[in-house]
Each structure stands twice: as structure tokens, then as C-alpha cells.
């Protein structure tokens, strides 16, 4: 297409283009150019990278050729050849290109909120060819995909277990808790959605029995479903909260601070053994208040001194095996949201208040849990306690 480019041609570097400098480990001096909307990446010369930078925001070919001559990065003929190639590859476009204008709009609009990385993710995943299950053959195609996946890699990741836990406390089953809960769901829901005034005097405290009941009914296994007869796919787990494809990527941990008959520590709720397992000591209270800054705001917001802080993490591989679409990551937050509401209602049914927050020191908490953030990452924190117990609330009542 070199013949279609003249000195008067106005070109733009596609708004979805991203450049990465040469990797020193490769020692080849080539840049990486990525076009997010077409999901194309190529390694290019420094001269080609210079051209992409020069055309950012729009520029005439003649002006860029003058810049090329002045800097000596390439001769004009080679520069024109490179421009033609970059145009054919979709990295250089004219101003009327719809994809470029759309990407430019997204970046400009989302950039007002500093959502730059989010915008890039949106550009790269917007037109992914999802399976339409409502169309004829959609379900059959999905089953074929699962057979292919199964032949390539076993699907066994359902639960997580810390072996050799210092303390392991058996919990009741989720079904057993459901069978004994007497408070109507609507009452517990009303208490969560429209909480009454915090009492002037706190009543009771978080007990071992109730904590185990809340954890079991929220995160425990209710039943299973067999999806494979050859052992390459472990039975799916059903819980009281839904999860897309029954993948249940969320793992639950508990920073026990002040719970009756439960030694302080950092615990993991093991679905496999249906137990609360102590896996680490807690840091000092001052450190906890920094690590769990968000959940500790329950002191001011609800008048609740956290007795225990539930941490939800996501084991990414569980969802990624089944759903290989690039937007799969967002579904894990939907799972966490379902569990969060179930946790709220279950806590309210036992007379406790809950307060959820994303304000967490992810890296420090992941280190406490002994996990790699690329395999399992922190998602949510929920403080649970008795209303009217926080120092701030007591001080307010005195005044």
C-alpha cells in the first residue's frame, strides 16, 4: 500500500496501540507493539517504534518524513515502506477509522476517572467470540469444549487444604446449620438491609459455636454433582450461594481476634475437611488495623469492634479451567458478592453485625496466608462483631 501514501496523507497511530521498549534479556533491540482491539502483537525496529510515536495524535506523512530525516533514524524510502506495513497491520489508520475513534473515546472518557488499565482491558476483550447458549448447537458446542479441555488437563481443583495445621476445629455441615436455623430469612434480611439503632449496651459476644455455624453455612459444601465418569473431572461442589459453573473459586480465611473458646490466630476454612484450621499467628493489633483498615471502619460505621475478620480470596485456576474467556476475572467478584450477602444474613441470624470492605493490604494478607498472588488473590474483607462494642461507639454514648 506504499503507493497510496503521499506526503499529504494524514495518519494516526491507532488509539489501541501500546509500545514496550526492548527487553534487555533478549538483546535484540526490538520493541513490542500491541494493538489491543485486534489482539495483535509484533516486534518492531526502533525506527518503526519512532514512527508510531510520531503519528500519535495524528500527523501528516510529510511532517514525519522530515522528522525522520532530521533524526537520522531511517532513510525516507525505508520509512515509507515501514509506514505502509504498519498501516496494513492496523497500527496506523486514517482519522475516520471507526475502531480508532471508538478506542479513543473509551480512553478519553474512562481516563477522566484514572481507569487507564481498565480501559486497556476493555479494549482487548470487547469483541471476544463468546458461545451463545441460546442458539441451536450452543450447549452441544460447550460440551465438546469441555471434552477437549478434559483430554488436555484434568479438572481436579475444587478445595484447598493446609496440612499440619496447629489447630483444627470441626464445623457442623452446611445442611445441619440450615436445618437448625429458626429465624425466618426475611427477618434476617430486614435486619441486614435496614439495621436498627445500635444498642446502648452490647449483648453477648461472638462464640466458637456461632462462628463455626456462620462459616459452615456460608462457605461449606451442601452437596455435589458428578460431571465425569472417567475421573478426569472431580465432582462439582454445591453451596448455599451460587457460582458460575459451580467453580466456587472463593476461599475463606478468618482473622480471629476475640472469639469465645477460639485461640486468636489466622484460620482457613477447609471445605474438604469441613473444619476451621489455624495456619498462622496474628500480627500485633496495630499491624492488624493497618492490614485490615477497611473492615476496621466498622468501629465508626456500625459501632462494632471486630471480633473476627473474614477474608475472601480467589483461586483463579478453578474458574480459568472452565471459562477461558478474557473477562472471566470479573465473575469472581460476583461470587464474592453472593457469599458476602449470605455471610451478612447468617451473621445477623446469630445476632451479629457485619461490615464489608475492599480496603485491605493484599500483599501482607497473602503473605500471612502463604499464597502467591498470581495463583490466589485477596478479594474481600468482612468484619463481624457485636453491635455497641467499639471504643468509638462507647465514647459517643458517654458524650
d(CA 247, CA 339): 13
**What pLDDT score does 202 carry?**
59
Whole-number Cα distances in Å, 193 to 147, 301, 302, 348: 44, 14, 13, 10
The pLDDT-based confidence of 2 (bands split at 50, 70, 90) is very low
The pLDDT-based confidence of 25 (bands split at 50, 70, 90) is low
**What pLDDT score does 193 carry?**
59
Per DSSP, the three-state class of 222 is coil
Average pLDDT over the chain reads 90
CA atoms within 13 A on the CB side of 394: 8
**What pLDDT score does 18 carry?**
96
Helix H or strand E segment including 374: none
Q: What are 234-250's pLDDT values in tens digits? A: 999 999 999 999 999 99
Does the structure show a pLDDT above 80 at 105?
yes
d(CA 43, CA 56): 18
**What pLDDT score does 84 carry?**
94
Residue 3 DSSP class: G
Percent of the chain with pLDDT over 70: 92
If one compares 30 and 39, the residue with the highest pLDDT of the two is 30
Q: What are 314-344's pLDDT values in tens digits? A: 999 999 898 887 778 888 999 999 999 999 9
d(CA 124, CA 359): 28
CA 78-79-82 angle, to 5 degrees, is 85
Tally Cβ neighbours within 10 Å of residue 295.
30
Q: Comparing C-alpha atoms, which of 314, 192, 311 is closest to residue 256?
A: 311
d(CA 379, CA 195): 25
If one compares 4 and 262, the residue with the highest pLDDT of the two is 262
**In which order are the strands placed within the sheet that holds 353-357?**
167-170, 275-280, 265-270, 250-256, 308-315, 376-385, 353-357
Could you give phi then psi for residue 360, rounded to 5 degrees? -130, 150
If one compares 121 and 200, the residue with the highest pLDDT of the two is 121
Pairing of strands 308-315, 376-385: antiparallel
Q: What are 160-210's pLDDT values in tens digits? A: 999 989 899 999 999 999 988 777 777 766 765 555 555 555 567 899 999
Q: What are 126-172's pLDDT values in tens digits? A: 877 778 888 889 889 888 888 888 888 899 999 999 998 989 999 99
**What pLDDT score does 349 carry?**
86
Amino acid at each position: 500500500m506504499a503507493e497510496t501514501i503521499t506526503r499529504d496523507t494524514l495518519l494516526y497511530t491507532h488509539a489501541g496501540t501500546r509500545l514496550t521498549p526492548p527487553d534487555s534479556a533478549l538483546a535484540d533491540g526490538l520493541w513490542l507493539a500491541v494493538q489491543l482491539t485486534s489482539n495483535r502483537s509484533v516486534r518492531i525496529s526502533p525506527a518503526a517504534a519512532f514512527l508510531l510515536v510520531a503519528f500519535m495524535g495524528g500527523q501528516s506523512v510529510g511532517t514525519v518524513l522530515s522528522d525522520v530525516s532530521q533524526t537520522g533514524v531511517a532513510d525516507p524510502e525505508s520509512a515509507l515502506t515501514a509506514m505502509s506495513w504498519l498501516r496494513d497491520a492496523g497500527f496506523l489508520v486514517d482519522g475516520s477509522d471507526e475502531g480508532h475513534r471508538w478506542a479513543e473515546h473509551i480512553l478519553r472518557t474512562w481516563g477522566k476517572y484514572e481507569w487507564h488499565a481498565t480501559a486497556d482491558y476493555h479494549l482487548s476483550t470487547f469483541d471476544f467470540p463468546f458461545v451463545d447458549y441460546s442458539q441451536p448447537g450452543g450447549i452441544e458446542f460447550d460440551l465438546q469444549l469441555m471434552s477437549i479441555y478434559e483430554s488436555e488437563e484434568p479438572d481436579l481443583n475444587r478445595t484447598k487444604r493446609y496440612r499440619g495445621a496447629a489447630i483444627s476445629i470441626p464445623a457442623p455441615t452446611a445442611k445441619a446449620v440450615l436445618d437448625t436455623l429458626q429465624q425466618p430469612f426475611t427477618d434476617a434480611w430486614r435486619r441486614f438491609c435496614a439495621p436498627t439503632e445500635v444498642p446502648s449496651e452490647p449483648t453477648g459476644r461472638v462464640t466458637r459455636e456461632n462462628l463455626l455455624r456462620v462459616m459452615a453455612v456460608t462457605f461449606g459444601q451442601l452437596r455435589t454433582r458428578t460431571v465425569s465418569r472417567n475421573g478426569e473431572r472431580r465432582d462439582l461442589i454445591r453451596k448455599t450461594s451460587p457460582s458460575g459453573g459451580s467453580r466456587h473459586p472463593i476461599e475463606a480465611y478468618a482473622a480471629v481476634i476475640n472469639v469465645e473458646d477460639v485461640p486468636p490466630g489466622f484460620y482457613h476454612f477447609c471445605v474438604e475437611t469441613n473444619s476451621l484450621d489455624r495456619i498462622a499467628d496474628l500480627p500485633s493489633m496495630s499491624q492488624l488495623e493497618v492490614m485490615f483498615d477497611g473492615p476496621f471502619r466498622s468501629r465508626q460505621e456500625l459501632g462494632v469492634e471486630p471480633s473476627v475478620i473474614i477474608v475472601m480470596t480467589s483461586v483463579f485456576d478453578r474458574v480459568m479451567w472452565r471459562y477461558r474467556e478474557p473477562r472471566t476475572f470479573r465473575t469472581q467478584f460476583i461470587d464474592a458478592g453472593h457469599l458476602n450477602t449470605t455471610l451478612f444474613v447468617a451473621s445477623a441470624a446469630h445476632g451479629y453485625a457485619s461490615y464489608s470492605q475492599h480496603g485491605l493490604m493484599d500483599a501482607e494478607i497473602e503473605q500471612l496466608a502463604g499464597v502467591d498472588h498470581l495463583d490466589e488473590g485477596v478479594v474481600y474483607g468482612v468484619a463481624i462483631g457485636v453491635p455497641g462494642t467499639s471504643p468509638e461507639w462507647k465514647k459517643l454514648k458517654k458524650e
